[in-house]
Structure 1
Amino acid sequence: MQTKKRLRAVFVIFLILSCAVLIKLFHVQIIKHEFLKGRAEENWDIEIPFGGMRGSILDRNGELIVGNQLAPTLYYMPAQNPDAQHVASTLAEILRADAKELEKKLSQKTYMVKIAPEGKNITKKQADEIAKLQIPGLYTGVDFVRYYPKKEALSRLLGFTGYDGQGLAGIEYAYDDFLQGTGDRIRLYTDAKGIPLPHVDDGFKTGAEGASVGLTIDLEMQQIVERELLQAMEKFEATQALAIVMNPKTGELLSLASAPTFHPADYQQVDPSIYNRNLPVWMTFEPGSTFKIITLAAGIEEQVINLHKENFHDPGFVRVANARLRCWKREGHGQQTFLEVVENSCNPGFVTIGQRLGGEKLNQYIEDFGFGRTTDSGIAGESKGILFSKEAFGPVEQATTSFGQGISVTPIQQVQAVAAAINGGNLYKPYIVKEIVDANGKTLRTFEPELKKKVISEETSVQVREALESVVANGSGRSAFTDGLRVGGKTGTAQKVVDGTYKDGEYIVSFIGFAPADDPELLVYVAVDNPKNSVQFGGVIAAPIVGRIIEEIAPIAGITKRENQLEKDYRWGDEITHRVPDLTGMTKETVRTQLYTYQIKWHGSGEKVKYQMPAVDTLISVDDVIHVYTE
């Protein structure tokens, strides 16, 4: 009887334990299956990474500036193929690499070897050739390199990416957090020896593409500007050159160029001084006469001069304290109005304006126009320039500052300041990025015009524009004259300063121009460093470049020809020009009897002129031909 009770107790205990085991198995196999499977896979898996897809960089119209190009990368798992020597010798021939160095890398005691740099970013042809060999333990991961459809265009602004795809300079660096993508990954499941596990499917982790950065740059304008800079570099054998195009009404940078340039994919082949220096924001130098626009604006605003009704006599120099400050014209300009002071870029006249303003007031305007600090443009590497301290700003320093000597500014500071002087007095922050959009099309950030402050009145700005248009029609900027577009502007010629001393025979020549003068929509600044083979004046070298740029990009900006422009006065040596007469409706006989002295080429067999080229009232030289087309 006692034995039966014991057997019954053992059976009950066995039954309870069996139930417990079954419940535990159900819990493990069914309820916690996915969790435990995931934990197991973490111990089994080996990931082959795909390179992260960086976001694109686009121009203001959505045209691609920087994209991505497929570039495979090789990975090797030593546990799956112990014959590293054979693998190395096979790959060395295809990759054009050293077999011994490859063997050394492939023999590492690790679960996976990334074959780099030899097997990183290989060509599709190489990848296809390797795939045909079916080498055990060798895998091809997907990677990307940056693709530049416009080649060297905008290189100093864009910057470049490094070995790991991270932004190292320029826009690539400044907006790396947005551009950086996370790559996809293939998950292989293996045992401790790296042997693939049977009956376990490989997995896949999906990454995220980086966001695209849309710039304010207009690629069509950029290509025109860069072409002009490269031509100037060749023609004048210059050390370097730079250019900026901005919409003065908004602060949008439409073009930003430096020369010489480089290809971002080959940045390691050029001197770091080229790829590390985005000249329009990095370079600082004495502005020369382009800075006189600020002195002019302050003088008009404070009513210390009258451009038309007040005269000034220039003997060729002015004495300030113990210094004798000369005009660029040694014999002086003699008696002139203050408008002519501006047209002639007369240094003594601008010293007088500065003296009438007083040191404190002049300094205040210089600060109000944004000098002495960065513009906050968001462009990497921007400098802030150098101004005189208040303690060092004596009478001579005040005088030289009035005509742009002794201080150091950046090109982008000058563009920001002159934009305010001509747009009605509004100081806008220059900006280069228009918007940032993620891979799904969602806008992450947008950038709008940002008004910093009002620096002068609209009335003063009108007078500044009129004076600078007169500089181009009648003064030192006549080489920038563009018929019908009403170009205004100012020349600049500054001797280079090296280690605190002026360098003989080396100058930075510049010109800042805008159009149309009645309602400015384009502001163009060009500076050429140490030009040769020519007279080193901004009016001779830089002004014609700006004139050509404005003429070519005006249609892109939607600018049409204006009326009521100041006509360019003829001076000895100028090309003789005429306005095209209206010949439409006339017969051949009538044209002959009018005694026109132009070269006229007839097209068609009719008697009456139906239309003509160039158009009526176009400015042409005496050697140009008028083409007329009959009915």
Structure 2
Amino acid sequence: MEGFLKKFLQYIHETNLFLGESFRRMFGFGKFEKYGNKDNKSNQQVALIRVLFILLAISFVIIVLRLSYIVTFKGEEYKRMVYSQRQTSDIVIPCERGSIYDAKGTVLASNIKKYIVILDAKQVMDYSKQMGNSAYIEATAEALNQYLGFDKQQIVDFIYNNPKDAYERISKDENGKVIALDAEEVKPLMEAITASKSKGSTVKPIYGIQFEDSYSRIYPNNSLACDLLGYVNDGGVGMYGLEQYYEEELKGVDGRSFGYINDYTNLERQIVPAKNGNSLVLNIDASIQRIVERKIIEVNESMDYSERSGSYNTGVIIMECDTGNVLAMAGWPFYDLNNPREVTIDKYYSTKQINELMSKFAIQEGWVNGISSNIFIEEDKPPYFKILNEETGKDDVVMLTQEQLDKLDDDLSGYVRDGVWKNFCISDTYEPGSVAKTITTAIGLDSGKLVPSDSFHCTGLIEVLDRTIHCSHRWGCGGGDLRMCLVKSCNPAYTQFGKKIGKETFLEYSKDFYGVKTGIDLTGEVSAEGLVFTEKTLNTTELATASFGQGFNATMIQMICGFNSLINGGQYYEPHVVNRIVDENGCIVKNIEPRILKQTVSESTSDKLKDYCIGVVEESEGTGKKSRPAGYRIGGKTGTAQISGVGGYQAGQYVVSFMSFAPADDPQLVMYVVIDRPNIPDQSSGAVNQACELTREIYTEVLPYLNIPMTEPLTEKEYEELLEKGIYTSNIVIEENVPEDNTDIADEMTGEIIEPAN
């Protein structure tokens, strides 16, 4: 600023801007000399200060004049502008999340209306002042106390201390979080408020209490289809399943009620209505879903060999052959959608499983040696580990700190919740085992590398480089042509079939089946891309094992989509859970039509494979005989696969499965059953029978429910079974003297004879 004034004075001097001796004397300049002259420096500094003072005085006068003008001529305009910026009541009008319906209109997810209690202290205070009576404040506080249990004095104090507050949410939990109350809770208070203002009322009117609408997600069927649906968290956001995948369609848009000042300084209100979310109509049939889940529970409750109940996971998918529409999908264990956080580790896991998980996490954190460590939990003692000391040959004891124990507890809780909430059918990978032999067979036939007459003589084992591969029959199944090798599920035969197909052809066809997402409309699908063989990793031994489904991973949804294409003429459908999206009035927003993604094999290859799979169920040496439901011919393929872990395959740990289609001559349904580590004495012997029996139980009820005509006469025993289950159809035929099939079945992995399941 000083520099500017100096230049300004110099300019005056050089240009003689201010003329006349009187002007110079008025400012005390005297005679001008070039600024900076040493002799005149003090006089010029005085002049600078005087100029600055004059400029400030002029500025002050201008401001005063401007303010006078605003007050006189623009006062009302600026008053409106100030009022318009004042905080007025701005209320959110909540939208309603879209519902979810099954294929027949059964409600699977909907909303209930709740209410948030609002206290308008300004309204109460203004009315109290207007009436000149503080009793109206007391009336409001008394009503909140009587009907909702609020502290009366706290309400009174809030009103007096916040007389300008027109919007305060007062319904809160013990942690101060705003909550919505059920209609039954607030109804008495609503009625009391109305009655107090009615004509002829003898009580003081209740003012300042309002109710803001809110919606809470409910699932009328509790745990039904929990893996499919997912749930909505406390913030109203979809988590897992359909709720998360279709979040944008379901959530809607909140409306608002705005308060603003009009041109006459009056408060007016404008309402922007809420836009409710769209609803989903599924391909899922709730009745079929119930059958599937009930049967899953029954089979898991029957597997009670050890402390835990049932398997680690059990998954079932039922799909329409000619559309890819998913009619049912379920994964054990289940959880209550209305209380999703009530998932505790001891509810779903045995002590042995908990100990295994604790060891796993402790090893991952590096707290204990991962080679040989076991956790021990004793009453009134913290968990500790015993680790083998290789030098002394004795166990060293390792205690965890409290901090480590707390982290272990958090890790376990998160692991368990995620494991229960996620969908086993699309999110977990495993080695598919002998079910994959159907794909290997199809690859060989479609590429011309295999022909139906190709045969193999099985003696029980075969050597592939340094690997010995055993047949499911200890002394050999005898083999046979291509069809019989699939019927008997002969591993040595398939090592040779894989060799004939060759690495390049196997990999080329495999791209259509493994390592890619199917595109199902559910959150959480994984591709297993890094868990399949590539050109670099598929060597001689790997090709041999991959031919019968070991050494690589897949998901249930990948396997059923691939298999479906093998029996429907080669058409690979994109799987869909949702059929259509509708708005709040029921008008269709979007139809989701069946979509063919690719042609995997020819129709002739498909026809041959169907015949082979029928043999798996009907031939005397077939591994899937126990799967046939009463009155129907079906086809399918069993699967038994070891579970890989640290250091190789886990001893005695298996995933068993059965892939099937029905009816055999005109496939309408495909079903895939997978049981992960069934809780039976010996998983390697007879475990696959559990999958076959579960398949049979589900088909026995689902096929008649869908009014699919029976294709086979019933034995008297089967007829009695259907009577007991309450299943009746219009075309039941009882055929006398039909022998029961009691042919022994050998386990695919061990060759042991499987006892019939109870």
One of 113, 125, 128 as aligned partner of 2:168: 113
Give the match for residue 279 of structure 1. 424
Amino acid at match of 2:247: D
The 1-side partners of 2:717 and 2:231 are apart by 50
Residues 1:299 and 1:530: Cα distance change in structure 2 (over 3 Å): same
The 2-side partners of 1:104 and 1:238 are apart by 59
Residues 1:287 and 1:440: Cα distance change in structure 2 (over 3 Å): same
Q: CA deviation at 1:190?
A: 10
Q: How does 1:91-170 map to 2 (within 5 A)?
A: 112-115=167-170, 117-118=172-173, 120-131=179-190, 134=193, 136-170=207-241
Residues 1:87 and 1:402: Cα distance change in structure 2 (over 3 Å): farther
The 8 Å contact of residues 491 and 538 in structure 1, kept in 2 or not, is answered as no
Q: CA deviation at 1:88?
A: 9.0
Amino acid at match of 1:542: A
One of 542, 549, 572 as aligned partner of 2:691: 542
Question: Within the alignment, does 1:509 sit opposite 2:656 as a pair?
Answer: yes
The 1-side partners of 2:515 and 2:157 are apart by 56
Give the match for residue 629 of structure 1. none
One of 537, 541, 547 as aligned partner of 1:392: 537
Give the match for residue 375 of structure 1. 518
The 2-side partners of 1:514 and 1:156 are apart by 23
Q: CA deviation at 1:186?
A: 5.6
Q: CA deviation at 1:146?
A: 1.5
Give the match for residue 733 of structure 2. 615
Give the match for residue 447 of structure 1. 592
| SS class of match (2:327) | strand
Q: CA deviation at 1:524?
A: 0.6
Q: How does 1:400-411 map to 2 (within 5 A)?
A: 400-411=545-556
The 8 Å contact of residues 123 and 166 in structure 2, kept in 1 or not, is answered as no
The 2-side partners of 1:102 and 1:234 are apart by 54
The 8 Å contact of residues 716 and 736 in structure 2, kept in 1 or not, is answered as no
Amino acid at match of 1:540: N
The 2-side partners of 1:104 and 1:170 are apart by 47
The 2-side partners of 1:354 and 1:39 are apart by 83
| SS class of match (1:214) | strand
Residues 1:361 and 1:613: Cα distance change in structure 2 (over 3 Å): closer
Question: Within the alignment, does 1:182 sit opposite 2:253 as a pair?
Answer: yes
Give the match for residue 625 of structure 1. none
Residues 1:180 and 1:345: Cα distance change in structure 2 (over 3 Å): same
Structure 1, 154-163 or 282-291: larger mean CA deviation: 154-163
The 1-side partners of 2:300 and 2:151 are apart by 42
The 8 Å contact of residues 459 and 476 in structure 2, kept in 1 or not, is answered as yes
The Cα offsets for residues 66-103 of structure 1, whole Å up to 9 and x where unpaired, read as 11111112223444468999989986896689999999
Q: Identity rate of aligned residues, in percent?
A: 29
What RMSD over aligned residues (CA atoms) do the two structures have, in Å? Answer: 3.8
Give the match for residue 36 of structure 2. none
One of 67, 70, 92 as aligned partner of 2:113: 70
| SS class of match (2:338) | helix
The Cα offsets for residues 41-90 of structure 1, whole Å up to 9 and x where unpaired, read as 88574134343111111112232211111111222344446899998998
The 2-side partners of 1:262 and 1:104 are apart by 45
Give the match for residue 609 of structure 1. none
Q: CA deviation at 1:465?
A: 0.5
One of 296, 300, 305 as aligned partner of 1:233: 300
The 8 Å contact of residues 300 and 311 in structure 2, kept in 1 or not, is answered as yes
Give the match for residue 605 of structure 1. none
Q: CA deviation at 1:229?
A: 1.0
The 1-side partners of 2:156 and 2:659 are apart by 60
The 1-side partners of 2:597 and 2:455 are apart by 36
Q: CA deviation at 1:455?
A: 1.4
Amino acid at match of 1:324: T
TM-score normalized with structure 1 length: 0.77
One of 616, 621, 626 as aligned partner of 1:479: 626
The 1-side partners of 2:154 and 2:477 are apart by 75
The 8 Å contact of residues 318 and 671 in structure 2, kept in 1 or not, is answered as yes
The 8 Å contact of residues 577 and 621 in structure 1, kept in 2 or not, is answered as no
One of 527, 534, 542 as aligned partner of 2:674: 527
Q: Which runs of 5+ in 2 are unaligned?
A: 1-72, 126-133, 194-205, 304-309, 344-415, 721-729, 741-758
Residues 1:293 and 1:202: Cα distance change in structure 2 (over 3 Å): same
The Cα offsets for residues 401-448 of structure 1, whole Å up to 9 and x where unpaired, read as 101111010000000100011111111111111111112333221111
The 1-side partners of 2:243 and 2:143 are apart by 37
Q: CA deviation at 1:492?
A: 1.1
The 2-side partners of 1:325 and 1:97 are apart by 75
The 2-side partners of 1:316 and 1:389 are apart by 29
One of 239, 254, 266 as aligned partner of 2:327: 254
The 8 Å contact of residues 716 and 734 in structure 2, kept in 1 or not, is answered as no
Q: How does 1:561-576 map to 2 (within 5 A)?
A: 561-562=710-711
Residues 1:145 and 1:311: Cα distance change in structure 2 (over 3 Å): same
The 8 Å contact of residues 233 and 240 in structure 1, kept in 2 or not, is answered as no
One of 341, 346, 349 as aligned partner of 1:268: 341
Residues 1:138 and 1:408: Cα distance change in structure 2 (over 3 Å): same
The 2-side partners of 1:96 and 1:500 are apart by 62
Question: Within the alignment, does 1:46 sit opposite 2:46 as a pair?
Answer: no
Amino acid at match of 2:515: G
The 8 Å contact of residues 260 and 274 in structure 1, kept in 2 or not, is answered as no
The 2-side partners of 1:92 and 1:500 are apart by 66
Residues 1:178 and 1:449: Cα distance change in structure 2 (over 3 Å): same
Q: CA deviation at 1:525?
A: 0.7
The 8 Å contact of residues 635 and 662 in structure 2, kept in 1 or not, is answered as yes
Question: Within the alignment, does 1:213 sit opposite 2:286 as a pair?
Answer: no
The 2-side partners of 1:125 and 1:163 are apart by 21
The 2-side partners of 1:71 and 1:131 are apart by 13
The 2-side partners of 1:443 and 1:311 are apart by 55
Residues 1:618 and 1:97: Cα distance change in structure 2 (over 3 Å): farther
The 8 Å contact of residues 186 and 202 in structure 1, kept in 2 or not, is answered as yes
Question: Within the alignment, does 1:224 sit opposite 2:291 as a pair?
Answer: yes
Q: Which runs of 5+ in 1 are unaligned?
A: 1-23, 192-196, 568-575, 581-597, 599-611, 623-631
Amino acid at match of 2:591: T
The 2-side partners of 1:348 and 1:45 are apart by 80
The 1-side partners of 2:138 and 2:738 are apart by 76
The 1-side partners of 2:156 and 2:650 are apart by 57
The 2-side partners of 1:151 and 1:527 are apart by 24
Give the match for residue 104 of structure 2. 61
| SS class of match (1:504) | strand
The 1-side partners of 2:239 and 2:732 are apart by 50
Q: CA deviation at 1:526?
A: 1.0
Q: CA deviation at 1:110?
A: 6.2
Question: Within the alignment, does 1:321 sit opposite 2:465 as a pair?
Answer: yes
The 8 Å contact of residues 488 and 623 in structure 2, kept in 1 or not, is answered as yes
The 2-side partners of 1:335 and 1:168 are apart by 50
The Cα offsets for residues 311-351 of structure 1, whole Å up to 9 and x where unpaired, read as 31112111112211222322221243332211111111111
Q: CA deviation at 1:453?
A: 1.4
The 2-side partners of 1:461 and 1:100 are apart by 79
Residues 1:42 and 1:171: Cα distance change in structure 2 (over 3 Å): farther
Residues 1:416 and 1:117: Cα distance change in structure 2 (over 3 Å): farther
Give the match for residue 299 of structure 1. 444
The Cα offsets for residues 446-483 of structure 1, whole Å up to 9 and x where unpaired, read as 11111111111111111101111110112000011124
Question: Within the alignment, does 1:362 sit opposite 2:506 as a pair?
Answer: yes
